[in-house]
Amino acid sequence: MKRHVLNNDGWTWIEMDFSDKATMQKQTSGYPVDEQWLDQANEGDSNNLQMDTTYEGKEVIWGSLIYDHNLTDPDSGKFFHFCLTRDFLLTDYLDFDIFNKINTSNTVTKMDFTHTPIEGFMVIINVILNNYLQKIDDFEKRINNLLWKLEKKNNEEVLSQIMNCRHQLIVLKSLILPLKEIELGVPEAFGEETKEGSIFYKMQQRIDRAFTLVTEYSKEIGSMAELESVKADVRGNEIMKTLTIVTVLFTPVMAWGALWGMNFTYMPELDFKYGYLFAGLLIIVNTAAIYLFLRNKGWMGDLLNNTEQTKKKKKSSSY
């Protein structure tokens, strides 16, 4: 067990092994902490927050929180368990050295400037938020690169990257949501005065910033997914239109070929001197007639029109 006496003996932060139930019961004696949680605290593998405000001055919040998670590994979540009162903060052992530009000694120094365990707990939450904000910032470059990659080529690899980014943003949002619950739960348990300090304000702003960034990036990813879908639909429609036109244009060839391929007893065209020439001309005329009919209807449409418009734009830009 590690005991940190902070703010000139103003309050205490205790780090300990949460599997030691006897010590935990001793530390939380006099507070209405759930006995079942004391039994299973060390086994917690999900975010949760509970509180009891029955007795004034003995309010207590306890639960578990993920403070780091690899967004590509579902089993990489690192949990810390806590019990917060007006008199002390009880947590299991925390390793902030895993975060970039953050270490445990710096965190303890920041906590030493706080006046209450509640403020000290919010310092820890701010450190966790910084970690998540760094992960969110990493998305900015990825999303920008993905946006231009989507413009240049549209394939299964790009779609896979879009879906991967969307999934990771959902994971990030699920990690930030419990911190929002803490932001709401602390004033509920300990009173509105906990919202007056600068530490709570910083925590609140960071949570709002994190949610705003995740929400906006999710919208961008959603727009890219829609754009990918539209491009795929347009490509599919062009393919179907091309196949339809080819089928229609080659119908005379197939129809006349099928007719002349029949083996009836009486076939007067066998003695026709210019039979092949006549057949070829008949097929060409029929095909041209079908082509003109489709074009007049506008069913040959966009490809030819786009080509003509492109040529006009090039001519106008040369002046």
pLDDT digits (tens, 9 = 90+) for 109-156: 889 999 999 999 999 999 999 989 988 888 888 888 888 887 777 677
Taking residues 226-249, report their average pLDDT: 80
Regarding predicted confidence, which is higher, 239 or 207? 207
Q: How many angstroms separate the CA atoms of 27 and 22, rounded?
A: 9
Whether 188 is in a domain gets the answer yes
**Interstrand relation of 11-15 and 60-68 (parallel, antiparallel or unpaired):** unpaired
Question: In one letter, which amino acid is 23?
Answer: T
pLDDT at 254 over 70: yes
Non-local CB neighbours of 304 within 8 Å, separated by 6+ positions: 295
Residue 263 has pLDDT above 70, yes or no: no
Indicate whether 304 pLDDT > 50: no
Residue 318 lies in a domain: no
Tracing tokens 């990489």 back to the chain, one arrives at 76
C-beta of residue 58 within 8 angstroms of C-beta of residue 85: yes
Do 90 and 31 fall within a single domain?
Answer: yes
Instruction: Please determine, for residue 302, whether its predicted confidence score (pLDDT) is greater than 70.
Output: no
Range(s) of the domain holding residue 42: 2-231
With cut-offs at 50, 70 and 90, classify the pLDDT of residue 89: very high
Examine residue 115 and state whether it is found in any structural domain, yes or no.
yes
Same structural domain for residues 211 and 100?
yes
Q: Is residue 168 part of a domain?
A: yes
Highest mean pLDDT among 26-35, 177-186, 273-282: 177-186
Residue 18 shares a structural domain with residue 156: yes
Average pLDDT over residues 199-222: 93
Same domain, 144 and 223: yes
Looking at the fold, whether 261 and 186 belong to one and the same domain comes out as no
Higher pLDDT, 200 or 312: 200
pLDDT at 214: 93
Q: What mean pLDDT is predicted for residues 78-84?
A: 88
Q: What is the pLDDT of residue 262?
A: 66
Q: Does residue 195 sit in the same domain as residue 286?
A: no
Distance CA 19, CA 21 (A): 6
Tell me: do 11 and 136 sit in the same domain: yes
243 in a domain, yes or no?
A: no
Intra-chain end-to-end CA distance of the chain, in Å: 82
Q: Are 36 and 184 found together in one domain?
A: yes
- Residue-wise DSSP of 125-168: HHHHHHHHHHHHHHHHHHHHHHHHHHHH--SHHHHHHHHHHHHH
- Tell whether the model's pLDDT for residue 287 goes beyond 90: no
Q: Which helix (H) or strand (E) holds 239?
A: helix 198-249
The reply to whether 315 falls in a domain is: no
Confirm whether 312 is domain-assigned: no
Q: What is the pLDDT of residue 314?
A: 47
263 alpha-carbon distance from chain centroid: 66
Q: pLDDT averaged over the chain?
A: 82
What pLDDT shows up at residue 178?
92
Convert the pLDDT of each residue in 21-74 to its tens digit.
888 888 888 888 888 777 777 776 678 899 999 989 899 999 988 888 888 888
Domain end, chosen from 176, 204, 231, is at: 231
Average pLDDT over residues 202-209: 95
Cβ atoms of 217 and 168 within 8 Å: the answer is no
Q: Where are the beta strands (DSSP E) in 194-301?
A: none
Asked if residue 69 is part of any domain, the answer here is: yes
Residues 215, 184, single domain; the answer is: yes
Say how far apart CA 53 and CA 35 lie, in whole Å.
16
Residues 113 and 258 in one domain: no
DSSP code at position 84? E
224 plus 258 within the same structural domain: no
What strands, in cross-sheet order, belong to the sheet with 60-68? 2-6, 11-15, 88-91, 78-85, 60-68, 48-52
Our count of domains for the chain comes to 2
Residue 239's pLDDT is 82
Please say if the pLDDT value at position 205 is more than 50.
yes
For residues 168 and 269, membership in a common domain is answered with no
The amino acid occupying position 38 is L
